[in-house]
């Protein structure tokens, strides 16, 4: 189907799609009765369109995973080619596509990483990283931040810090702590340096109080995403590494949302936070989302040599039927090759530095409702407040009005609590960013 024919209006088909959804589909994280889902008819790059033919800039990247953009021709071609050869194999067998995918992922990881364990997505990536850490250390407890999201399976949701954890706390051995967030500091800090120092001190005291010999791992998102794009202060990730080493715990960095170009780096922990790029080396890296933009579901764990070698002669008690699914692996190979050849990661860095960052800060100067702008690359959040001095978060009514205005203006937003997350695909162009900024500006003016 050509792009032009794909964008032609077909309201009757849209009506059918809506009726089928509302009549048969049970949606996640939702009370079902009042749902009114957006029904896209198609997409290309950073643009989606509905069955009425209306276009929308996708500044949600769906669930912050469409890094390479919608319908990238090289990724689609690779999936089709793999389907002609081999659509499914058991994970115990070897696979050329799986080996090529692992090789490419490892090429972007630090030199001490040697293997990749593939999963179906980010939640089971974190699930298996936790399992590995417990087996390697012989310890049980996992420390993670309150402002975090790690997935919706047993240990992953128990590691999550936000409200979704509370009705799902069935997994054992999870302890939470507050990470740094100067704008809403838990530590009465007034500078990034104070916030970093006090957050690390609080974590260390938590470890001591919990029993240092019981801590298997510290699990954190390199940049907490759903919690608000909380870019860590200089020295924080390095401080986590030092504390993990001091107490014999493993450091797991969750790159599910932040990885593969989102911050303008291949991995978010490689960004320069003011203490030198590439200065932090974790023991395990979890990934999903941007590794192939979800064209076929995939995730995984990148294992340091130390962790991988622990299972040279000991059985790893974990596995998944679709681990390293050939179609997903072909999508990873094509995605990472295209991102490298087309300099898509560099584009994300340029967009953040030259367009999104300056543009969003200009909106902040104009609209008092924007309390703080924070982010890197194509990974930004606007912290919205009813009063800048008190930093009181706006309510759901304001967010709902903003979402309606943005959709009416032709932009698909990502909202969370009192925030608008500005997270377009890594392939977004300066012109598309300019149009998006105009839509944001109009929406804020209407709601204000």
pLDDT along the chain (448 residues), means of 10: 59 95 94 93 97 96 98 98 97 96 97 97 98 98 98 95 92 96 98 98 98 98 98 96 98 98 96 72 98 98 98 96 97 98 98 98 98 98 97 97 97 97 98 98 95
Q: Domain extents for the chain? A: 3-71+343-447, 73-341
With H, G, I as helix, E, B as strand and everything else as coil, classify residue 359. helix
The residues pairing with 302 across neighbouring beta strands, listed in sequence order, are 116, 285
Instruction: For domain 73-341, give the CATH number.
Output: 3.40.640.10
Element (H, E) at 4: helix 3-6
- What pTM did the predictor assign? 0.96
In terms of Cα–Cα distance, which of 166, 157, 167, 165 is closest to 123? 157
Q: Cα separation of 293 and 291, whole Å? A: 6
For 45: left if phi > 0, alpha if psi spans -120 to 50, otherwise beta; the answer is left
Decide if 52 contacts 77 (C-beta within 8 A): no
Q: What is the pLDDT of residue 9?
A: 87
Q: Cα separation of 274 and 129, whole Å? A: 28
Instruction: For domain 3-71+343-447, give the CATH number.
Output: 3.90.1150.10
In terms of Cα–Cα distance, which of 172, 96, 168 is closest to 131? 172
The CA–CA distances, whole Å, from 429 to 63, 347, 350, 359 equal: 20, 8, 10, 14
Q: What is the pLDDT of residue 6?
A: 53
332: Cα within 13 Å, side-chain hemisphere:
31
Q: Cα separation of 129 and 304, whole Å? A: 11
Q: Which two tokens stand for residue 271?
A: 């960004």
């Amino acid at each position: 189907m050509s792009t032009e024919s794909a964008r032609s209006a077909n309201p009757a088909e849209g009506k059918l799609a809506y009726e089928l959804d509302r009549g048969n589909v049970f949606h996640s994280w939702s009370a079902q009765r009042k749902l009114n889902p957006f029904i896209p008819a198609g997409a290309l790059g950073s643009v989606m369109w509905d069955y009425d033919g209306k276009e929308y800039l996708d500044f949600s990247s769906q669930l912050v995973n469409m890094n390479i953009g919608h319908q990238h021709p090289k990724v689609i071609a690779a999936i089709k080619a793999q389907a002609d050869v081999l659509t499914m194999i058991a994970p115990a067998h070897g696979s050329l596509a799986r080996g090529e995918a692992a090789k490419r992922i490892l090429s972007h990881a630090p030199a001490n990483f040697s293997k990749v364990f593939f999963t179906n997505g980010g939640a089971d990536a974190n699930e298996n990283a936790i399992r590995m850490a417990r087996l390697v250390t012989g310890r049980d407890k996992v420390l993670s931040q309150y402002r975090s999201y790690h997935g919706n399976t047993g240990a992953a949701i128990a590691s999550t810090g936000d409200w979704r954890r509370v009705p799902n706390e069935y997994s054992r051995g999870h302890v939470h702590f507050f990470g740094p967030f100067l704008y809403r500091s838990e530590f009465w800090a007034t500078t990034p340096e104070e916030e970093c120092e006090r957050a690390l001190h609080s974590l260390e005291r938590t470890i001591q109080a919990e029993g240092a010999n019981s801590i298997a791992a510290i699990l954190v998102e390199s940049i907490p995403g759903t919690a608000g794009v909380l870019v860590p202060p200089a020295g924080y990730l390095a401080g986590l590494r030092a504390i993990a080493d001091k107490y014999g715990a493993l450091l797991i960095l969750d790159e599910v949302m932040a990885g593969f170009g989102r911050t303008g780096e291949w991995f978010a922990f490689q960004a320069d936070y003011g203490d030198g790029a590439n200065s932090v080396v974790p023991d395990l890296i979890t990934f999903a989302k941007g590794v192939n933009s979800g064209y076929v579901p995939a995730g995984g764990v990148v294992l340091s040599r130390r962790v991988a070698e622990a299972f040279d002669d000991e059985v790893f008690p974990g596995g998944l039927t679709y681990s390293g699914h050939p179609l997903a692996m072909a999508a990873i190979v094509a995605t990472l090759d295209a991102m490298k050849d087309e300099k898509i990661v560099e584009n994300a860095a340029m967009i953040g530095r030259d367009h999104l960052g300056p543009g969003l800060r200009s909106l902040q100067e104009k609209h008092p409702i924007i309390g703080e702008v924070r982010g890197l690359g194509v990974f930004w959040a606007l912290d919205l407040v009813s009063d800048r001095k008190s930093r009181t978060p706006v309510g759901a009514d304001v967010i709902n009005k903003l979402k309606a205005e943005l959709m009416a203006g032709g932009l698909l937003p990502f909202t969370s609590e009192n925030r608008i997350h500005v997270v377009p695909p890594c392939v977004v162009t300066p012109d598309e960013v300019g149009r998006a900024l105009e839509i944001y500006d109009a929406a804020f003016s209407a709601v204000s």
